[in-house]
Structure formats: structure tokens, C-alpha cells
Amino acid sequence: QVQLVESGGGLVQAGGSLRLSCAASGSIFSIDAMAWYRQAPGKQRELVATIGSGGSTNYGDSVKGRFTISRDNAKNTVYLQMHSLKAEDTAVYYCNLWSLGKGYWGQGTQVTVSS
């Protein structure tokens, strides 16, 4: 079994920055892609960013140029650095990991951006 624990969420003013972390533990033999998703109240969960095992990245259109995803393979950890935050970035942010064909989710961390 794989466990994901997110941290780093909180309340920030518009224009500010936050860094989210997600540490994976448990029966991890190999990690393929890691990603961040978010879900705002009343909206569907949406992709924020992904990072492949080789470091290739992909971003949702709404966060391009403001957010950066990175990973530390030695620590089984993925990060999301968020800059120039906007009120519309307010959501619960979820970490996602794929390993040996199975997907895993963290419990989520709240990010609230005040305007």
C-alpha cells in the first residue's frame, strides 16, 4: 500500500506564494508520474501539473507561468511551487501518484487565496 501526505497549504493574500509538498511512503517499488490536482467548491477536480519519471512536466492552462512542479526521487516527494496566486486558485489541492499501473491519492490540503 502507498500513502501520500500533503503539506504546505494555508491562507495567503493574492499575489503571494506557497509551496506544497507531498511525501509518498509505503510499498513503493517504482514511481511513474506524479501530479497535483485541485478541486474548488462546486467544481470538478482539475489537473494542475504533472511530472514524469524522467522529469518532463505538463501544466494546466490556468497555472502556466505561475506554478512549478518538481520531484525529489530520493525522498519520493513531489512539490508544487505557486507564485502570483489568485483568488481563483482557492481549492483543495490533491497529490496523485502512479506506480505499477495503480493510482493513489493524498487526503488534500486547502489553499485559500484572499483578494
Nearest-angstrom CA–CA distance, 30 and 38: 24
Residue 1: what pLDDT? Answer: 84
- Other residues' Cβ atoms within 10 Å of the Cβ of residue 55: 10
The span from the CA of 7 to the CA of 52, in Å, is: 21
pLDDT at 29: 79
Q: What residues of the chain score a pLDDT lower than 70? A: none
pLDDT tens column, 20-37: 999 999 888 788 899 999
pLDDT at 30: 85
Q: Which pLDDT score is estimated for 55?
A: 92
Residue 94 CA to residue 115 CA, distance in Å, equals 23
